[in-house]
Structure 1
Amino acid sequence: MTADQSAPRSAQTVVLGLGRSGLGAARLLNQRGHAVVVLDSGNSAEHQRKANLLRQEGISVLLERPLELSSFEDLQGTPERVIVSPGIRWDHPTLTALRRQGIRTDGEITTAWEASRPVPWIGITGTNGKTTVTHLVAHLLKAAGLDAPMCGNVGHSAAELTLERLQDLPAWMVVELSSYQIESAPALAPQVGIWTTLTPDHLERHGTLENYRAIKRSLLERSRVRILNADDPDLASRAASWDEARWITATDGSQARSQGITPWLWIEAGQVMQAEGAVLDASALAMPGAHNRQNMLMAVAACLELGLSGPCMEAALRAFPGVPHRLELIRELQGIRWVNDSKATNYDAAEVALNAMEGPLVVLAGGESKQGDASGWIEALTKKAAAVVLFGAAQTEFGQMLELAGFPGVVERHGDLSAAVAEAQNLAQQLSCRAVLLSPACASFDQYSDFEARGEHFRTLVQSLQAV
């Protein structure tokens, strides 16, 4: 399968930002024949390096151009289109002004959607769980011999992957989609849409839970096959508003049925079931926690749509290596397990991790805090954690929250993760803990470029620990 790579040279398309998504979009558009200019507000050595690489490919780059209308004034004519990276607010005043002028604005993900036609997408979204489901779907399809790489909000950007495969497009694309990407891509219509969970997140960007929910829902409404998690309270409470969906539940289905939901997949007597009978052994996936059973069922539901058999999927699930930075066992030292859950960037994800672990634990938490309800997280800490070691920008805020909640365990504070890991090792020994869990309940941007960088630093620190 190949894409039409050529398009007549036209008015300029402006790409905002030299980040990963901006670079991928600029290169993809250029390869497909569009006249591209990239604007970025920076002018560091790294900005210069990236700019020079693009210029060698025939792409114009203008540095020291903040996102203001004046930055567009000396371009060669009015831009035909502006491509926006996920990190830029969709309601930014400059973007709003450009739209009033009749200039089309699209998110980076749209460039991949357009260039990958007619490849069907499996679009996966949700507050928590979407990364695990994305990895699971891609793993199952690969094991079945299907050419279905994953991209989007994980691994390659969708534009990078599409550019890489432009001469030989894959059979399917498995795409993790954040709310930032969805709101900027109203044309995106997956063949299969998966919605994992919905809890308050990114409210500093979207304003209200209702806005956040509506963005997520829009993706599923445009999907031909809709897969939804009946075990998520928010999704289940709105089940009646869906005229057609495939619901999964990691229970026997009785609770879902009591809410008026007819499960398409459920677990009964240790088997993943559908109306026609057993599909596979529910214990095939070794990852701990009820939430991972939900993740498994959503992945299985998607792959059943593509024709995979139960035995094929069961064998692949048994071989699944897990997801980096999500309840990832780094090592065991002196009987203590060190677990990397850097992907837990909000209270709900951190609560899920705690509920999946056996206590007593030492928990590492902190970073750049987000809006949200911390009560469930603190309750889980109270049940599972003998000690909490706080680090980064949120340490004072989190310390006050734990004190006000009457957290009975030890609470220590440190400026950075390195000192926090050293403290955690001592506390784990003193308090006879089973494990040390990095589950920050925070974004990473106070000290790291992303949660992956934070998780990799944790991995390095833990692997260098010596027995005490």
Structure 2
Amino acid sequence: MIPVRGYEGAKVAVLGLGRSGLATARALVEGGAEALVWDDNEAARSRAADEGFTVADLTKAQSFQDVAALIVSPGIPHLYPAPNRVVQLAMDAGVPVDNDIGLFFRSFATDDWDRFDVTPKVIAVTGSNGKSTTSALIHHILCHVNRDAQLAGNIGRGVLDIDPPVDGSVVVLELSSYQTELARSLTPDIAVFTNLTPDHLDRHGGFGGYFAAKRRLFAEGGPDRAVIGVDEVEGQFMANQLAQGPTDDQVIRVSGSRKLAGNDWHVFAKKGFLAEWRKGRQVASIDLRAIPGLPGTHNHQNACAAYAALRPLGLAPKVIEAALHTFKGLPHRSQTIAEQNGVRYVNDSKATNADSAAKALSAFKNIRWICGGLEKEGGLGRVQAQLPNVAKAYVIGREAAAFALHLGDTPLEVCDTMERAVASAAAEAQPGDTVLLAPAAASFDQYDSFEKRGEDFISQVQAVLKA
């Protein structure tokens, strides 16, 4: 646990009592604060009370008398489309609003670090797609070389629930736009921006607000090194804003699809090969094509971002390359779950928007594509260029028929359920085909989460293959 510093003897309110909320309350108490907790869910309040926390109805204005701060969980709106009523009451009372990420950065460093030979580091990863895989890949490589490392934030453990750092520790944080937008303190040593595509636009008042939330990690965080994906204009703009000149190596530009030029520090993948260039000279090359845990150009971009984040820590290219070959991938992200009779079954349930689904579709040929769900803003325009890779689409979800209308002349079957989609796809698949779940939509019309959707896909595939 990371005890929260700066609130000793003060009352701090915590809104939302899921994993991060409870961890925050515990860390506040460990640091000497009094935690006043609230959740609209009665069962969550009851669990917090059983743990000994003071449950205070924060929906009443008088609850913020003598409160030093309100700490908000990521899923609770603090600005758009409208602030949660508790957040609004705190702002009306002049009470600072923060989140667990802000508390972490103000509390992580301690006087104990004076005795360390190697100062602990924080690598923070954000972006629309690939941030989970990039974060996990960085953590995997650090563990492979026996460096003390912890994975936290939007993946792994709650950020305040991790162990205090030891000499040479590295903490790898995956940060969502909800987290970067609200955190009052952001001070990573190395910050990574993977890419930007439309997502969560209702929570940020549009695409510009979404980009601004991501940009805070760099513009206000002031990292020693910034690893920036430049395959979109927003990344190009941010790299340009952060660099002090054409040879500034505090910015490492990354591309997953094209060769980069210039005398700066850059890492790119082209035709399956990762290349590192610095000061106009190539210093390393890695063949990514034979790494099963990183299929497709989108994962090659993730590999480039992870590689670039680790090079400033002194890891050699050959060491990183060896670790890449041992990476198995993450569940629900281009996860190969079975191969039988020449047919590959891949679970990419995390492809919850059109851009991430398009990247999954670009990684394979002869695809039996299981898609559909709760459609997001922006439609399916980004998948259109990859539809030639699709032999047939099998559409699921409560609005499957409406979703299917976006697929044009692509052969398709409206299946409604995962069970029917998997059965049909498996029955029609030929050797060389890939049965791919990449929904291009949220899961909440039929499932509690993308994880539950992916687990159902895995279960249905296993049932079909055993039959």
TM-score (norm 1): 0.86
Q: For residue 228 of structure 1, report the CA deviation from its aligned partner.
A: 0.9
Could you say which residue in structure 2 is the equivalent of 1:121?
122
Could you say which residue in structure 1 is the equivalent of 2:341?
334
Letter aligned with residue 385 of structure 1: V
Could you say which residue in structure 1 is the equivalent of 2:332?
325
Could you say which residue in structure 2 is the equivalent of 1:375?
381
Q: For residue 3 of structure 1, report the CA deviation from its aligned partner.
A: 6.2
Letter aligned with residue 334 of structure 1: N
Q: How does 1:18-417 map to 2 (within 5 A)?
A: 18-44=17-43, 47=44, 51-52=46-47, 54-62=48-56, 68=59, 70=60, 72-73=61-62, 75=63, 77-91=65-79, 92=83, 94=85, 95-117=87-109, 119-161=120-162, 165-166=163-164, 171-221=169-219, 222=221, 223-236=223-236, 239-244=239-244, 245-250=251-256, 253=259, 256-257=260-261, 262-266=264-268, 270=273, 272-275=275-278, 277-283=282-288, 285-286=291-292, 287-359=294-366, 361-381=367-387, 383-402=388-407, 406-414=408-416, 416-417=417-418
Q: For residue 5 of structure 1, report the CA deviation from its aligned partner.
A: 6.9
Letter aligned with residue 333 of structure 2: R
Q: For residue 348 of structure 1, report the CA deviation from its aligned partner.
A: 0.1
Quote the Cα distance in structure 2 between the aligned partners of 1:417 and 1:34: 48
Secondary structure at 2:439's aligned position in 1? coil
2:351/2:440 contact within 8 Å kept: yes
Could you say which residue in structure 2 is the equivalent of 1:427?
428
Q: For residue 232 of structure 1, report the CA deviation from its aligned partner.
A: 3.4
1:25/1:112 contact within 8 Å kept: no
Residue 96 to residue 301, structure 1, CA distance change in 2 (3 Å): same
Quote the Cα distance in structure 2 between the aligned partners of 1:55 and 1:13: 16
Q: For residue 450 of structure 1, report the CA deviation from its aligned partner.
A: 2.2
Q: For residue 58 of structure 1, report the CA deviation from its aligned partner.
A: 2.9
Letter aligned with residue 277 of structure 2: Q
Secondary structure at 1:464's aligned position in 2? helix
1:231-274, Cα deviation, whole Å (9 max, x unpaired): 33442366533325211234663xx43xx784522458956332
Secondary structure at 1:149's aligned position in 2? strand
Share of identical aligned residues, percent? Answer: 33
Q: For residue 16 of structure 1, report the CA deviation from its aligned partner.
A: 1.0
Q: Which is worse superposed, 325-334 or 227-236? A: 227-236
Quote the Cα distance in structure 2 between the aligned partners of 1:110 and 1:240: 26
Residue 445 to residue 271, structure 1, CA distance change in 2 (3 Å): closer
1:404-461, Cα deviation, whole Å (9 max, x unpaired): xx223123231x32333223323336xx660111101112222333222222222222
2:13/2:70 contact within 8 Å kept: yes
Q: For residue 464 of structure 1, report the CA deviation from its aligned partner.
A: 2.3
Letter aligned with residue 114 of structure 1: R
Secondary structure at 1:442's aligned position in 2? coil
2:257/2:269 contact within 8 Å kept: yes
Quote the Cα distance in structure 2 between the aligned partners of 1:268 and 1:372: 28
1:191-247, Cα deviation, whole Å (9 max, x unpaired): 101000011111121121111111111112222211112333442366533325211
- Gaps (5+ residues) in structure 1? none
TM-score (norm 2): 0.86
Q: For residue 295 of structure 1, report the CA deviation from its aligned partner.
A: 1.3
Residue 305 to residue 262, structure 1, CA distance change in 2 (3 Å): closer
Q: For residue 83 of structure 1, report the CA deviation from its aligned partner.
A: 0.8
2:392/2:412 contact within 8 Å kept: yes
Residue 347 to residue 271, structure 1, CA distance change in 2 (3 Å): closer
Residue 4 to residue 385, structure 1, CA distance change in 2 (3 Å): closer
Could you say which residue in structure 1 is the equivalent of 2:116?
none
Quote the Cα distance in structure 1 between the aligned partners of 2:207 and 2:93: 30
Residue 371 to residue 250, structure 1, CA distance change in 2 (3 Å): closer
Quote the Cα distance in structure 1 between the aligned partners of 2:368 and 2:351: 16
Quote the Cα distance in structure 1 between the aligned partners of 2:64 and 2:135: 41
Quote the Cα distance in structure 2 between the aligned partners of 1:76 and 1:213: 32
Q: For residue 465 of structure 1, report the CA deviation from its aligned partner.
A: 2.0
1:137/1:303 contact within 8 Å kept: yes
1:280/1:311 contact within 8 Å kept: no
Q: Which is worse superposed, 285-294 or 308-317? A: 285-294
Residue 266 to residue 362, structure 1, CA distance change in 2 (3 Å): closer
Residue 248 to residue 420, structure 1, CA distance change in 2 (3 Å): same
Quote the Cα distance in structure 1 between the aligned partners of 2:316 and 2:270: 19
Letter aligned with residue 253 of structure 2: W
Residue 84 to residue 170, structure 1, CA distance change in 2 (3 Å): farther
Residue 419 to residue 251, structure 1, CA distance change in 2 (3 Å): closer
Quote the Cα distance in structure 2 between the aligned partners of 1:213 and 1:305: 26
1:357-404, Cα deviation, whole Å (9 max, x unpaired): 122x111112222112421213312x11122122223423312222xx
- Gaps (5+ residues) in structure 2? 111-119, 245-250
Residue 96 to residue 4, structure 1, CA distance change in 2 (3 Å): closer
Quote the Cα distance in structure 2 between the aligned partners of 1:79 and 1:237: 40
Residue 274 to residue 412, structure 1, CA distance change in 2 (3 Å): same
